[in-house]
Amino acid sequence: MNKWFKRTTMGFAVLLCVSPLLSGAKPAIVHNRQAPPAWTSETLIAHAMGSVDQYFYTNSLEAMQQNYRKGYRVFEVDLQLTTDNYLVSRHDWGGYLYDRFEQTLPREKMDKPLPLKSILSLPILGSYQAMSFEHIAELLQNYPDIWIVTDTKAANAEEARLQFEAIVRAANGKEEVLTRIVPQLYSREMFKWVESVHSFPSYIYTLYQSPDSDDEVLDFVKMNDRIDAITMPEDRALNSRSLISKLNSLRVPVYANTINDPVVIKKLADGGVHGFYSDSMTYSKLEEEGIQLGDR
């Protein structure tokens, strides 16, 4: 945790480094990048809070608790804005998801956001509970050794603003938890959108929606020393050994998503991938398979 607090004191210096980028001028390259933050020592990230009783994508309290017991400490969570501007742990508002989760709702209310109270009143598969970000902030307080990776899928500046304002509001009175929230960026532009709301100590840049070339990814990382990890979909990771090697040389670990097959994990790890988002892989399963990841 000390590394995290040290990093937060550098906020103004980092903003000075990136301000030319935001103004359109040619930015300065960051030199002497610090060692990656503590959360990157974790080589597994629980996708959508991880599976619970073999169910995927629940983003539920029970999934988090079950996977914590299995050794996970970094949890990715899908977040959706409700009609009353809260964030709830849910992949999307599609009608198919109500059917998959056995949630009864009139069809005319599906495929669009609900108020927070309404969505929280619908148990998932009769057994599991979605969470507001207020609840997630309480979890961060109660579990001081976990980190939350946000999956907000923000498509524009206004959407990002509303989402991250909701996160900051949820942390009111317990601001320390913001140091253990790792926003996941979907575009280079999203960095400044989030920073306009709150300056987080660490970010992930995920490439599954990004058209960026390898050189553009490298330039973005070199110019922003709080981009502490890159996430790639499986196909790009399998075909990006050169990029992965260059990122590793910059002390920026690469994660691949979403991988549950130990054979694929072994292949990607041999190619330099540091860690994996997974629904069902565990550290004990990796050990059984003889797969060693990172320095955990």
Q: Does residue 13 lie within any of the structural domains?
A: no
Segments forming the whole domain that contains residue 162: 44-283
User: What is the C-alpha separation between 272 and 253, in angstroms, rounded?
Assistant: 9
Q: Does residue 1 lie within any of the structural domains?
A: no
Rg from Cα positions in the chain: 19
pLDDT at residue 30, as a whole number: 54
Query: pTM of the entire structure?
Result: 0.89
pLDDT at residue 144, as a whole number: 98
Which whole number is the average pLDDT over 250-259?
98
Total domains in the chain come to 1
Q: Does residue 16 lie within any of the structural domains?
A: no
| Residue, of 164 and 3, whose pLDDT is higher | 164
Confidence band of 32 (pLDDT split at 50, 70, 90) = low
Which residue type sits at 7? Answer: R
Which whole number is the average pLDDT over 8-34?
46
The two structure tokens encoding residue 113: 């956001």
pLDDT at residue 249, as a whole number: 96
Q: Does residue 244 lie within any of the structural domains?
A: yes
Q: Does residue 107 lie within any of the structural domains?
A: yes
Summarised one tens digit per residue, pLDDT across range 40-99 is: 999 999 999 999 999 999 999 999 999 999 999 999 999 999 999 999 999 999 999 999
83: CB partners within 8 A, 6+ apart: 113, 114, 115
Strands (E), 126-253: 147-151, 181-185, 203-206, 227-233
Q: Does residue 24 lie within any of the structural domains?
A: no
Which whole number is the average pLDDT over 202-228?
97
Q: Does residue 21 lie within any of the structural domains?
A: no
Closest listed residue to residue 165, CA positions, set 126, 197, 128, 130: 197
User: What is the C-alpha separation between 125 and 142, in angstroms, rounded?
Assistant: 26
CATH number of the domain bearing residue 166: 3.20.20.190
Q: Does residue 266 lie within any of the structural domains?
A: yes
pLDDT surpasses 90 at 13: no
Residue 189 three-state SS: helix
Which whole number is the average pLDDT over 113-135?
98
